[in-house]
């Protein structure tokens, strides 16, 4: 590694406050980012330092009339690996350069006084430009509402995007007694529930009672990890009925080949183990009521299920801590849910992702008085395959919304993971070797599990008629990644229009689907939201499991209070008030 690294010719000219310089595509990781700082900040005791130029070959020229050689031409962040071997090495190379002169510097840097018109690529302009929307707005009676509660791949994990979850509501039943929501959806569905999505559900004022059916596409952590939160805290909120979890049957794979080992890796066994893993939680909270007195459990017939709904473990059929797996035959296209009362139907179908068992879903809902259903496909994670295309063609009817995963190319994935905006320029560097290793590994991930952006365009070109709106999801969005992906899609669908025919999903993106249009919105939510209002029926609850014998919950039944402080002392003095203050 040396200081004469040549930059790539990908640059834009920038005029700074006291200098003219250029910004280059960065060939080194962000964690070794350097900042040209012109000896950083002018020292008022020694005069005003100026950067005079930084040319395309990395030659920095400066003038510091009062310079003493104790300032450094380059500031850089502390890290394990840099373009220099150590902080001391950088000091040795850059100190004592004098009040004027020049030196070659590495080309990964950021400006101290950046161009005020420059915008970071860590921004998704399209989403920010969508019209604002209040998520508690009642649905129209002929509306299917799709809200992205999560939209991201698991690596990287980022605050801007939670992992995958799509919440869908259909229709509306008004209720004048409901002063908050003014009613409720006719039916609702949670598709996947990866890490971080619970906060988005709460921010969107979606209470637990609206999250009673979860359709998991496959059992990767980024698609089911927040199921723990939904399950364990639902009974403490307003889901006082069982949680129904739809998912794959066992893969049937010998793991690995010739080992004679076969794992029970389907949703039923997953639910059974999750239920027992949460036993301490469920018992400790069972001083609260968890059962309606008049709950009518769904049946195989009433929900059009592939088998009878039976809870795992020993929970009663009507308890909120009952977890009911609905095992789907991932090998075939089949019906997961078909409710004639709500007119909603969910079809499952096999996709290709990582291991046998992964599935996609198609939701159909027929509005009142309509003869044609509104339709949505959610592929979740998959390689390019034919089932998603065939279902999206839907005979010759097409679909309203086609939600399909997309990943950035392995090269982009690799250099973005390294904190770069381009591959390392020096092909002989350790950074470039790390980059190639990452590309090779991510290529394996892509080829076994995901749909590259060019392949997404190819898939769309095979769907006739095209969907009213295609949505790429499971994608790390930013203006640069989306622009690159759209170019790849356009190579296959030359007439496709961004924003009209295709969009990239983002957390709190709302799609309002009507028979004649699809309206895109941006939910306006609070980052400091509390739980949505708890809404319980007025016709009664059974006494909690842990009660005082009079039907009242007993929160002390499971604890040892021998070491507990008392609110009041024997002499009548108060340690703290009973109201918490």
What residue ranges define each of the domains in the chain, with the CATH number in brackets? Answer: 11-111 (no CATH), 125-407+450-523 (3.60.15.10)
Coil/strand/helix, residue 223: helix
H/E element holding 205?
none
Tokens matching residue 468: 């009213």
- Which pLDDT band, with edges at 50, 70 and 90, does 50 fall under? low
Q: What is the pLDDT of residues 193-233, one digit of tens each?
A: 999 999 999 999 999 999 999 999 999 999 999 999 999 99
Q: What is the pLDDT of residues 337-362, one digit of tens each?
A: 999 999 999 999 999 999 999 999 99
Q: What length is written for the chain?
A: 581
Whether the Cβ atoms of residue 187 and residue 374 lie closer than 8 Å to each other: no
pLDDT at residue number 87? 43
pLDDT, mean of residues 96-116: 48
pLDDT at residue number 58? 55
On the question of pLDDT at 44 being above 70, the answer is no
On the question of pLDDT at 47 being above 70, the answer is no
pLDDT at residue number 49? 55
pLDDT, mean of residues 184-195: 98
Helices (H), 116-226: 125-128, 197-203, 221-224
On the question of pLDDT at 523 being above 70, the answer is yes
Place of tokens 């009213």: 468
pLDDT at residue number 28? 31
Coil/strand/helix, residue 240: coil
Whether the Cβ atoms of residue 316 and residue 355 lie closer than 8 Å to each other: no
Lowest average pLDDT, out of 100-104, 317-321, 393-397, 411-415, goes to 100-104
SS3 of 434-451: HHHHHHHHHHHHHHHHCC
On the question of pLDDT at 263 being above 70, the answer is yes
Task: Classify residue 89 as left (phi > 0), alpha (psi -120 to 50) or beta.
Answer: alpha
| Average pLDDT taken over every residue of the chain | 85
pLDDT, mean of residues 165-171: 98
440 backbone dihedrals φ, ψ, rounded to 5°: -60, -45
Tokens matching residue 325: 């797996």
pLDDT at residue number 472? 98
Whether the Cβ atoms of residue 317 and residue 351 lie closer than 8 Å to each other: no
Helices (H), 79-235: 87-94, 125-128, 197-203, 221-224, 227-233
pLDDT at residue number 539? 74
Exposure string of 293-317, with b = 16+ CB inside 10 Å and e = fewer, is eebeebeeeebbbbeebebbeebee
**102 or 553: which carries more pLDDT confidence?**
553
pLDDT at residue number 155? 85
On the question of pLDDT at 478 being above 70, the answer is yes
pLDDT at residue number 281? 98
Are β-strands 323-328 and 243-248 bridged in parallel, bridged antiparallel, or unpaired?
A: parallel
For 276, half-sphere exposure in the C-beta direction (CA atoms, 13 angstrom radius) is 8
pLDDT at residue number 438? 94
pLDDT at residue number 464? 97
Whether the Cβ atoms of residue 114 and residue 78 lie closer than 8 Å to each other: no
Whether the Cβ atoms of residue 235 and residue 321 lie closer than 8 Å to each other: yes
- Which pLDDT band, with edges at 50, 70 and 90, does 533 fall under? confident
First to last CA, the chain: 62
pLDDT at residue number 364? 98
On the question of pLDDT at 163 being above 50, the answer is yes
CA pair distance 297, 242, nearest whole angstrom: 9
Eight-state DSSP code of residue 318? T
- Which pLDDT band, with edges at 50, 70 and 90, does 420 fall under? confident
On the question of pLDDT at 490 being above 50, the answer is yes
**Residues with Cβ < 8 Å from 22, sequence gap 6 or more?**
11, 12, 13, 14, 54, 55, 56
Query: Which of 523, 515, 486 is closest to 401 using CA atoms?
Result: 515
pLDDT, mean of residues 472-479: 96
């Amino acid at each position: 590694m040396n200081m004469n690294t040549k930059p790539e010719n990908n640059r834009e000219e920038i005029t700074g406050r006291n200098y003219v310089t250029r910004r280059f595509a960065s060939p080194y990781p962000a964690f070794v980012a350097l900042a040209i700082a012109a000896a950083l900040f002018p020292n008022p005791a020694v005069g005003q330092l100026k950067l005079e130029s930084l040319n395309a070959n990395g030659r920095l020229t400066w003038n510091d009339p009062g310079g003493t050689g104790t300032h450094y031409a380059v500031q850089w962040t502390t890290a394990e690996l840099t373009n220099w071997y150590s902080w001391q090495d950088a000091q040795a190379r850059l100190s004592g350069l004098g009040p004027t002169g020049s030196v070659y510097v590495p080309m990964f840097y950021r400006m101290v006084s950046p161009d005020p018109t420059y915008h970071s690529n860590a921004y998704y302009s399209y989403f920010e430009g969508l019209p604002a929307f209040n998520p508690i707005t009642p649905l129209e009676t002929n509306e299917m509402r799709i809200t992205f509660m999560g939209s991201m791949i698991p690596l990287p994990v980022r605050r801007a995007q939670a992992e995958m979850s799509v919440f869908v509501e259909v229709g509306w039943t008004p209720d004048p007694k409901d002063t908050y929501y003014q009613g409720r959806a006719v039916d609702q569905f949670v598709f996947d529930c990866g890490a971080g999505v619970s906060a988005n559900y709460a921010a969107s004022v979606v209470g637990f009672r609206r999250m009673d059916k979860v359709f998991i596409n496959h059992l990767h952590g980024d698609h089911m990890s927040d199921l723990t939160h939904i399950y364990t805290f639902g009974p403490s909120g307003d889901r006082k009925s069982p949680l129904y979890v739809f998912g794959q049957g066992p893969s049937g794979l010998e793991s690995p080949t010739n080992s004679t080992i076969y794992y029970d890796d389907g949703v039923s066994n997953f639910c059974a183990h999750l239920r027992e893993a949460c036993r301490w939680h469920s018992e400790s909270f069972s001083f609260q009521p968890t059962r309606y007195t008049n709950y009518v459990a769904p049946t195989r017939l009433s929900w059009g299920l592939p088998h009878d709904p039976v809870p795992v473990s020993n929970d009663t059929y009507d308890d909120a801590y009952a977890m009911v797996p609905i095992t789907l035959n991932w090998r075939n296209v089949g019906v997961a849910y078909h409710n004639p009362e709500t007119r909603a139907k969910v079809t499952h179908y096999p996709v290709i992702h990582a291991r046998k068992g992964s599935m996609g879903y198609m939701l159909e809902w027929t509005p009142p008085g309509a003869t044609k259903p509104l339709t949505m496909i959610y592929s979740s994670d998959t390689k390019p395959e034919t089932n998603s295309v065939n279902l999206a063609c839907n005979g010759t009817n097409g679909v309203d919304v086609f939600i399909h995963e997309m990943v950035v190319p392995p090269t982009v994935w690799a250099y973005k993971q390294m904190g770069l905006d381009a591959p390392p320029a020096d092909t002989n560097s350790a950074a470039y070797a790390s980059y190639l290793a990452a590309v090779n590994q991510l290529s394996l991930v892509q080829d076994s599990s995901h749909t590259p952006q060019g392949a997404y365009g190819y898939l769309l070109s095979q769907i006739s008629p095209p969907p009213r709106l295609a949505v790429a999801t499971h994608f790390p969005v930013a203006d640069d990644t989306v622009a690159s992906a759209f170019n790849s899609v356009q190579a296959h669908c030359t007439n496709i229009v961004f924003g009209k025919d295709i969009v990239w999903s983002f957390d709190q993106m709302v799609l309002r689907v009507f028979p004649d249009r699809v309206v895109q919105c941006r939910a306006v939510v609070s980052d400091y939201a509390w739980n949505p209002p708890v809404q319980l029926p007025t016709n009664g609850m059974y006494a909690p499991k842990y009660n005082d014998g009079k039907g009242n919950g007993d929160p002390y039944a499971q604890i040892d209070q021998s070491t507990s402080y008392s609110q009041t002392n024997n002499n009548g003095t108060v340690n703290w008030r009973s109201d918490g203050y």
